[in-house]
Structure 1
Amino acid sequence: MRKPTPSRTPTRPLKRAPAALTREIAPPELVGQRTVWHDSYAAGLTPARLARILRSAMQGDTHEYLVLAGEIERLELHYRAQLGTRKLQCKSLQIMVEAASDDAADVALADAVRDLVARPGTRRMIGHLLDGLARGYSVVELVWHETADGPWYPRYEHRDPTFFQLDRVAGQEIRLRDGSPDGAELPPNRFMIHVPDLITGLPVAGGLAMLGVWSFMFKSFSLQDWAAFGEIYGMPIRIGRYDQAHSAEDRAVLKQAVSMIGRQAAAILPRGMDLEFIDAAQGAVGPDVFERLARYWDEQVSKVILGQTMTADDGSSRAQAQVHDQVRLDILEADAADISETLQRDLVNVFVGLNWGVPASGQYPTIKLLVPDMDDLKQWVQMVCDLVDRGAKVGMSTVRDKLGLPDPDADEELLHPPGASQTAPPPPTDRGTARERGPAPLDDVDDLVDQMDAAAAPAIDSMLDRFRDLLATSDDLADVERRLLDLYPELSPDALAEVMGQGLMVAYLGGSADGG
């Protein structure tokens, strides 16, 4: 990797003392404001309790809501699967870094950023940032360390969102929770803060968990009722009948038999007693109503997270799936744009400024998560090829940045078109006298060939005419062979030999003049 040259700007505005860069600012604590151990709010969740938690969150007290949002992601299977799909799609995108210009300094800075994002932990860090999709915001702390070859690189530490709070005035600024009413201001260039652009308003109000908690609660009710229904009506109702002649002891035996047949499927009854089974599940309300309710809430979660249900929950045709996949592509592109903006602002600009100051051009390398669209990419490549064929000048770095290809190393083996020569053409020479410029240029040789071709044409045409007449008047191949043998002594090569001799003489004289 080419090392960036120092900026021509004399100041280094982001430079800090090593102790301030390497010290963690928001580490977890055993007790206090930043503990990772929380009470559970999902167990026994009721509409009244959930309404109170959400009301408190909208008034600035977000602790219980953020804990609950994390709980439902761990406990609710469908919500976790759909949210995980959306995160993994964005997390697995190719990271593209584009230089600000073709200037050597800007290209070197882009190479440095490519080396930064290629280091271990980048994908994991992006996954931490994507946690903001559910809770409204996410925070990753940058703990800097200096390497042996010079640049400062960050270590990424995910911080629980409960470690932070919103400012009490606008509710937009993320502040460190320290026990004070307003919290502590976060120092610049030490935190990556990702707030997905889902809806306008408070960050916590835009998180997908704001809707997911309601689905979790109502689906929990449906599953509890379904389990109770299965426990009660999974076996038919058992009714024992006795008459007035049976004693109290006989009735106790009958009751015990009814209970035992439900648990052990076996019982004994005194003679004269009856046991009847009634299938109560055949009533107007069957067990499928609970399944339909659970499925309904799953479909609503799929719509909120993925924008559709067809590829997530329902079977579909290929054409229908393609339409719904397009909706998912729109969401993926929006997530990628949001993450790219956060990486640009809180990582790339800080990394470059810390190590080399503000670039002389004033423009930083650009980082993007590239959403692949092969059709558009093919069209773009074809357009560039057409422009180059028509004489347009296109920078190689521009093409590589667009395709996400790094610059090849000096000793790296390169790809070539089939049949193309892999050796570089000789450098051009200055035109001067024949003795000064060495062998004759290619255009002189072409002229000589053209002159010889014109001089030899009459002799060659005369011989070809004889052959054409012979072929036209022959009966078969045997006749052609016999007549060629007869014709050969009559053919005179004198005219052609004279031309060839003249050509050889010219070539000899040219070589002698050039010092050959």
Structure 2
Amino acid sequence: MTQLVDQWGRPVRKGELTREVAGPTLTGVRSPLTGYPGDGLDPRRLANILREADEGHPERQLELAEAMEERDLHYVGVLGTRKRSVTQLDITVEDASSETTDKRIAEDLRTWLLRDELNDELFDILDCIGKGYSFTEIMWDNSMGQWQPSYLEQRDPRWFRFDQGDLRTPMLIGENGQDEPLPAYKFIHPRIRAKSGITPRSGICRAVTWAYLFKMYTLRDWAIFTQTYGQPLRVGRYPVGASEDDRNTLFRAVANIAGDCAAIMPEGMEIEFVETGNVGASVDLYESRADWLDKQVSKAVLGQTATTDAEVGGLGSGKEHRMVQEDIERADAKALSGALNRDLVRPWVDLNYPGHGRYPRIVIARPEAEDLVKWMQTVGAAVDRGLAVSEDDVYAKLGLRRPAEGAKILRPGGQNAPQAPGQPGAGDGTPPESAVKYPLNTLAALSAAEARDERKDPSAGDTAPLDIAVDRLTEEAAPEIEAMLGRIEAMMAAAESLDELREMLLGAYPEISQDALAEVLTQAFIAGDLAGRLMAGDGDG
């Protein structure tokens, strides 16, 4: 039997599929407790954190990325918008082929995707947007004899590193602290890059860290300014020769009144405060700087600012900017679909159908807007010209269900009373009476009846032989004639001119069996000739 291997050529060990291999351990190296490198962050410290990640140790960079999402409300807002934009998209499954097995596999996958937990699991998988990559462990279930994902568990990316040789191949930090290859068929590992390069440097967080640092400086200075501006300065004066205890008592008195702006000095000393000419300009400086940094973050995460920062009279319409965001949304959706197809769908099929080699495809995409009116006009014209179109396809396209038996059917002109199946216009494919002014089979029946009435005139002689021949011909040729007449009736109902009817008939005739029609016509000519001879002979007698 052929050994199953993953995308890195690692053999599949089925014993590892049903147990946790990357769970947290309080006493081991995979601790759920995190550090706080964002505390006291400055340019030198930030540079060291990024350099460590470039050397294959991204733990502190990942911890900083978490702190940025917790402390910067704008960053977590735009990043969450981008994630949720993808998780809300429609998920469809394309069959690998029309074979029964492939259809059954695709249907099993569709059923699994209906799980309520899937939305949260996809949101966690898309943590790769900010950090550049993520790891989600697949917990497989084989209790019913078939392999199926039981649930998807997010794993802290700090518990993984990359091979020192290429900084691309993911490795699991083992219990002994050594890097171990990822077990095959156990992890969903998407990568969504903000830029090309090695994986630890590809996430958006790398580009946003400097804007985050400068914004934190701005917010700190703004907070200090806001806290001290407008508060009175308390100055306590002590006489010359006052003891140190007296000075300490005076300072505690002025300090405890309120705020931090307090001082003491000997009598006769002066302090001069030089104020800026425009305090309002100083306030605007902090706000403008913070807003400018937020706009740069919006551009990095969403590709635009129109949907996050409204500007009166700004260049560019919101619709155009939204199109830019949809481009990013489509790229994220394709990346997520590709990761799920590679790391989830393919293992699922290989485990249950070894050597099958055909896989359904998960497609995550926003439905394209379509003009249904134009589509109906196009399909209607094609049907009028003889194209066979399934009613099920039309119902599916319009998002409608096929009416149940006995349901009230909407009809043109307000005639919405329920009708029994088989009646004209009852929704079972029979054209309504108003659609055809003179149905072809009705005209034929009337003509036959009139002919019989005329021949039953005493001067016309006995018509019994002809009636018998017509009845036998009708009975034998009924299936072929009914099929042809039913189709011609529909064409007559839809045609707006004789030329259009002619084109429709010419287009439909190649699909009618010519041999059967020729046989019917031959029998008709023979029956007519014999009936005529018989009637002529009787008349002579």
Do they superpose with TM above 0.5? yes
Query: How many angstroms apart in 1 are the aligned matches of 2:193 and 2:374?
Result: 30
**Alpha-carbon displacement from aligned partner over 1:219-253 (angstroms, at most 9, x marks no partner):** 111111011111221325567899x9x99799999
1:167–1:173: 8 Å Cα contact kept in structure 2? yes
Match of 1:488 in 2: none
Letter in 2 for 1:298: D
Letter in 1 for 2:105: L
DSSP 3-state at the match of 1:187: coil
Match of 2:93 in 1: 97
Residues 1:51 and 2:35 are matched in the alignment: no
Match of 1:169 in 2: 165
- Deviation of the 1:171 alpha carbon: 1.1
Match of 2:364 in 1: 369
DSSP 3-state at the match of 1:153: strand
Query: How many angstroms apart in 2 are the aligned matches of 1:453 and 1:236?
Result: 115
In the TM superposition, 1:145-294 aligns within 5 A as 145-146=141-142, 148=144, 150-178=146-174, 183-237=179-233, 282-283=278-279, 286-294=282-290
Query: How many angstroms apart in 1 are the aligned matches of 2:150 and 2:383?
Result: 41
- Deviation of the 1:33 alpha carbon: 2.1
DSSP 3-state at the match of 2:290: helix
- Deviation of the 1:160 alpha carbon: 0.5
Match of 2:65 in 1: 69
- Deviation of the 1:347 alpha carbon: 1.0
Higher relative contact order (CA 8 A, sep 6+): 1
Residues 1:314 and 2:310 are matched in the alignment: yes
Query: How many angstroms apart in 2 are the aligned matches of 1:131 and 1:369?
Result: 17
DSSP 3-state at the match of 1:68: helix
Letter in 2 for 1:105: T
- 2:133 is aligned, of 119, 134, 137, to 137
**Alpha-carbon displacement from aligned partner over 1:6-44 (angstroms, at most 9, x marks no partner):** xxxx97947967533211111111132211101111111
DSSP 3-state at the match of 1:287: helix
**Alpha-carbon displacement from aligned partner over 1:139-160 (angstroms, at most 9, x marks no partner):** 1111111254845233211110
C-alpha change, 1:303 and 1:23, in structure 2 (3 Å) is same
Equivalent pairs: percent with the same residue?
A: 31
In the TM superposition, 1:396-407 aligns within 5 A as none
Query: How many angstroms apart in 1 are the aligned matches of 2:47 and 2:393?
Result: 53
**Alpha-carbon displacement from aligned partner over 1:49-97 (angstroms, at most 9, x marks no partner):** 0000001111211111011111211221110000000000001111011
DSSP 3-state at the match of 2:189: strand
Residues 1:421 and 2:426 are matched in the alignment: yes
**Alpha-carbon displacement from aligned partner over 1:139-186 (angstroms, at most 9, x marks no partner):** 111111125484523321111000100111111111111277871111
- Deviation of the 1:325 alpha carbon: 0.7
Give the TM-score of the pair, scaled to structure 2: 0.67
Query: How many angstroms apart in 1 are the aligned matches of 2:408 and 2:140?
Result: 39
Larger mean CA deviation between 28-37 and 174-183 belongs to 174-183
Query: How many angstroms apart in 1 are the aligned matches of 2:132 and 2:359?
Result: 28
Query: How many angstroms apart in 1 are the aligned matches of 2:391 and 2:167?
Result: 46
Letter in 1 for 2:368: D
C-alpha change, 1:88 and 1:389, in structure 2 (3 Å) is farther
Query: How many angstroms apart in 1 are the aligned matches of 2:211 and 2:60?
Result: 17
1:143–1:157: 8 Å Cα contact kept in structure 2? yes
Residues 1:107 and 2:94 are matched in the alignment: no
- 2:124 is aligned, of 116, 121, 128, to 128
C-alpha change, 1:343 and 1:378, in structure 2 (3 Å) is farther
Match of 1:324 in 2: 321
CA-based RMSD of the aligned residues comes to 4.9
In the TM superposition, 1:441-452 aligns within 5 A as 446-450=443-447
Query: How many angstroms apart in 1 are the aligned matches of 2:100 and 2:329?
Result: 34
C-alpha change, 1:343 and 1:454, in structure 2 (3 Å) is farther
- Deviation of the 1:202 alpha carbon: 1.1
- Deviation of the 1:125 alpha carbon: 1.9
Query: How many angstroms apart in 2 are the aligned matches of 1:510 and 1:324?
Result: 78
Match of 1:5 in 2: none
**Alpha-carbon displacement from aligned partner over 1:428-459 (angstroms, at most 9, x marks no partner):** xxxxxxxxxxxxxx976642334568999xxx
Residues 1:86 and 2:82 are matched in the alignment: yes
C-alpha change, 1:257 and 1:192, in structure 2 (3 Å) is closer
1:235–1:279: 8 Å Cα contact kept in structure 2? no
1:236–1:278: 8 Å Cα contact kept in structure 2? no
Query: How many angstroms apart in 2 are the aligned matches of 1:306 and 1:148?
Result: 44
Q: How many residues align?
A: 435
DSSP 3-state at the match of 1:116: helix
Give the TM-score of the pair, scaled to structure 1: 0.70
1:79–1:301: 8 Å Cα contact kept in structure 2? yes
- Deviation of the 1:116 alpha carbon: 1.8
Q: Which structure 1 segments of 5+ residues have no match? A: 1-9, 266-273, 426-441, 457-494
C-alpha change, 1:418 and 1:45, in structure 2 (3 Å) is farther
DSSP 3-state at the match of 2:334: helix
Query: How many angstroms apart in 1 are the aligned matches of 2:72 and 2:61?
Result: 16
1:22–1:145: 8 Å Cα contact kept in structure 2? yes
- Deviation of the 1:356 alpha carbon: 2.5
Residues 1:339 and 2:336 are matched in the alignment: yes
- Deviation of the 1:372 alpha carbon: 2.5
2:372–2:398: 8 Å Cα contact kept in structure 1? no
DSSP 3-state at the match of 1:165: strand
Query: How many angstroms apart in 2 are the aligned matches of 1:253 and 1:280?
Result: 33
Query: How many angstroms apart in 1 are the aligned matches of 2:409 and 2:295?
Result: 51
C-alpha change, 1:347 and 1:292, in structure 2 (3 Å) is same
- Deviation of the 1:216 alpha carbon: 1.7
Query: How many angstroms apart in 2 are the aligned matches of 1:39 and 1:260?
Result: 36
DSSP 3-state at the match of 2:226: helix
